[in-house]
Amino acid sequence: MDYQFMPTQPNSPLLPKNLHILLVEDDEDDYFLTKSILDEISNISFTIDWIPDFNQAHESFLTNKYDLLIFDYRLGANSGIELIKLANQASLRTPIIFLTGQGNHDVDIEAMQAGAADYLIKSELTATSLERTIRYTISQKQAQDQIFFMAYYDVLTKLPNRRLFNDRLDQALLHAQRYHRVLAVLFLDLDDFKTTNDSLGHSMGDELLCAVAKRLLSCVRQSDSVSRHFDPHESTTMGRLGGDEFCILLDELRGVDEAITVAERIIAMLEKPLTIGEREIITTVSVGIAIYPDSGNDRETLLKNADAAMYAAKVKGKNTFAVFEQSMTSNTLLRLTIDVGLRKALDRDEFLLHYQPIINLSNGAIYGFEALVRWQHPQRGLIPPGSFIPIAEESGMIVPIGNWVLEHACKDLLDWHHRGATWAKMFINISYRQCVRRLDDFVANILKHFDLGSDCLTLEITESLMTRLDPSLINIFHNIHNLGVALAIDDFGSGYFSYRSLLKLPLSIIKIDRSLICDIDTNQNLTAIVQAVILMAHTLKFAVIGEGVETIEQLKILQQLKCDYAQGFLFAKPGPNEQTIKLIEHENTKNAIGPLIFNQIKCE
């Protein structure tokens, strides 16, 4: 889709190939005289529309299809100066040349003050003077357009910037208030763009933003918004506010359902792969919707509430939309508080680790522990990872937090080994952002620093991360595997994945997501799915861990399906290191956790 709505940009030709002129003149003889003078100009190609009527002229120039307007001063009961003022009220940027029947200094000054680019006296009009005036007027218009473009448009995407979008929203609100109409503001934020930008580089990130802008334009049909008094090609209903944030104004709506339809169309369109250079990239978007007048009566409130709704969409799992509700305001404030607090938490040593045991289903012994980060907030108390990890991912704080987890988990593992638990394995979750920051080098340095054998460490990657594999990331995982560190897929079955991706990485373990385990004892279809996953994994020589085991019945089924390991509240909830040490001491006395539960099964 071409950006036809754009004002003239630098390096444009001095004159359009065919100048489209509107001449407003109520005297037919004067029209023919002016046209004949124009015909004498051999260096300019033009098409001229003649309108003798004031009201018809007003309707015509509002179509904004002309490159130049020429107004006569006398137009029956009206004047050309009134037309100039109407053009100003419509925010028309087409240059205007003013014609007067005879020199009148006061009239000429009034015309220039009203907004005319130049004025000419009919009795002194020649082809040379008219050509000179046209060229001067058009070049002046192009210079003004360049300034306007720099002030009101985003140079990268060619979309209106925050300043212009705010202005258009203010105008739309005045119209909606006057005529009791409904309008919507859609606040859009690309999901995980910072991570994508880090991995692709800023140049390709910019290309991605431009491609997204084109897609967004194709999603918003002309019927979604009414642009009064503006170029029909000019999209002043969409803007880039900065970074990966976009805003769309939808006015003349009948209700929130129409805004939701547009949001769904945007989400579906952006889900389709984009080709950037030689790469195919899948990007998704979270959309927040604020409706006037329900969600606010002024621009600032509507934008703030649309932003809050967008964050609510992120919390819902991203790649979706949310309509603003009053409860979202407090959630947004909480989010900002957490974001600010995360940046201080590492320095204040507010993070701690909890560990959950992973049980060998063949003998009930503890196989290892998964390290789970917690945040001991000075005011809010213990904060679970689900409340701050998504925010850390978006802000980039996940990298230093993830590295802190790796370092401290390995430090605790070394202590367990000194206590005789050399059998213990450590499972640690890693993020995409950590991986692209040379995680292989960091892991190698950690193992060397603590003098740990690499076979005691397993790194867990999410299934969603596998949809973003590229050669450099695959190389990092192979480097980690070459160190002797095992790789596991976490939350398997919770999202989308390609079976071919399983063969690209040196994986050792698949962890079946709790969403498949929780109803395995009541849903035969889930049992069949889990059985298929276990058979596939064993065929590929992968071990299998069932997550979220909470009942004896779930445990029995996993054993029957030949699942290798399990973890969940049935065995133990995640606990601090002190609790973990007690479990290790208990295990070292050969009083394994599993057999206690297994004996209970036998008793039944």
Residue 225, CA distances (Å) to 184, 237, 253, 381, 469 in order: 10, 7, 8, 47, 39
β-strand partners of 153: 160
Residue 497 pLDDT class (50, 70, 90 cuts): low
- The C-alpha atoms of residue 366 and residue 590 are separated, in whole angstroms, by 10
More confident of the two residues 535 and 149: 535
Residue 601 pLDDT class (50, 70, 90 cuts): low
Give which of 604, 547, 602, 552 is closest to 574, Cα–Cα: 547
pLDDT score for 46: 83
Q: Which range has highest mean pLDDT (229-233, 262-266, 388-392, 468-472)?
A: 262-266
Q: H helices within 50-179, ranges in order? A: 54-61, 80-89, 105-114, 127-152, 162-179
Residue 239 pLDDT class (50, 70, 90 cuts): very high
pLDDT higher than threshold 60 for residue 161: yes
pLDDT score for 233: 36
More confident of the two residues 381 and 246: 246
pLDDT score for 549: 95
For 323-340, what is the mean pLDDT? 75
Summary mean pLDDT of the chain: 84
For 521-536, what is the mean pLDDT? 92
The DSSP line for 10-67 is TT--SS-SSEEEEEE-S-HHHHHHHHHHHHT-TT--EEEEEE--HHHHHHHHTT---S
Tokens representing residue 224 in the block: 């979604």
Report whether 213 contacts 159 (CB < 8 A). yes
pLDDT score for 403: 94
Report whether 197 contacts 302 (CB < 8 A). no
- The C-alpha atoms of residue 96 and residue 400 are separated, in whole angstroms, by 60
The C-alpha angle with vertex 299 and arms to 296 and 303, in degrees rounded to 5, equals 80
Q: Residue 514, exposed/middle/buried by CB under 10 A (0-12, 13-18, 19+)? A: middle
pTM: 0.56
Residue 451 pLDDT class (50, 70, 90 cuts): very high
pLDDT score for 224: 54
pLDDT score for 7: 45
Give which of 237, 231, 242, 178 is closest to 209, Cα–Cα: 242
Scored b (16 or more CB within 10 A) or e, 560-589 reads ebebbbbbbebbbebbebeebbebbeebee
Least confident of 66-75, 194-203, 504-513, 536-545: 194-203
For 385-414, what is the mean pLDDT? 90
- The C-alpha atoms of residue 465 and residue 462 are separated, in whole angstroms, by 5
Question: How would you classify residue 102: left for phi > 0, otherwise alpha for psi between -120 and 50, otherwise beta?
Answer: beta
pLDDT higher than threshold 90 for residue 554: yes
Task: Report strand pairing: 366-377 vs 351-360.
Answer: antiparallel
- The C-alpha atoms of residue 421 and residue 589 are separated, in whole angstroms, by 11
| Backbone phi, psi, residue 474, to 5° | -60, -40
Please enumerate, as own/partner, the contacts of 311-316 that have beta carbons within 8 Å and a separation of 24 or more. Answer: 311/286, 311/335, 312/288, 313/286, 313/287, 313/288, 314/189, 314/191, 314/286, 314/390, 314/394, 315/390
More confident of the two residues 147 and 291: 291
- The C-alpha atoms of residue 218 and residue 274 are separated, in whole angstroms, by 14
For 366-385, what is the mean pLDDT? 90
pLDDT higher than threshold 80 for residue 134: yes
Residue type, 122: K
For 437-459, what is the mean pLDDT? 93
Q: Residue 127, exposed/middle/buried by CB under 10 A (0-12, 13-18, 19+)? A: middle
More confident of the two residues 16 and 202: 202
193-234 pLDDT tens trace: 877 777 777 888 899 999 999 998 888 765 454 333 333 334
Tokens representing residue 244 in the block: 């990966």
